[in-house]
């Protein structure tokens, strides 16, 4: 299990003044799942990564560039 929090994702979301619930609703996923993505517990599927990235306006491949 990867417990590396995605601080970059939190910073982008907060910079756009979105709550976790708002992003989750826009992407059509549960807030708990989105929280797990932010906390590094889960890695999103490609379609979910693309939707999150489109909502928050960043390159979706960033999820998969993590080391």
CATH number at residue 29: 1.10.260.40
pTM of the model: 0.90
Task: Dump pLDDT digits (tens) for 52-63.
Answer: 999 999 999 999
Q: CB–CB of 53/65 below 8 Å?
A: no
Please report whether residue 31 resides in a domain: yes
7: number of Cβ within 10 Å:
10
Per-residue exposure over 11-24, b if at least 16 CB sit within 10 Å of its own CB, e if not: ebbeeeebebeebb
Please report whether residue 2 resides in a domain: no
Please report whether residue 52 resides in a domain: yes
Task: Dump pLDDT digits (tens) for 22-53.
Answer: 999 999 999 999 999 999 999 999 999 999 99
């Amino acid at each position: 299990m990867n417990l590396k929090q995605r601080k970059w994702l939190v910073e982008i979301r907060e910079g756009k003044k979105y709550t976790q619930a708002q992003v989750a609703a826009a992407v059509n996923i549960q807030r708990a799942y989105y929280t797990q993505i932010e906390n590094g517990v889960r890695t999103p599927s490609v379609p979910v990564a693309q939707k999150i990235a489109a909502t928050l306006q960043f390159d979706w491949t960033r999820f998969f560039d993590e080391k």
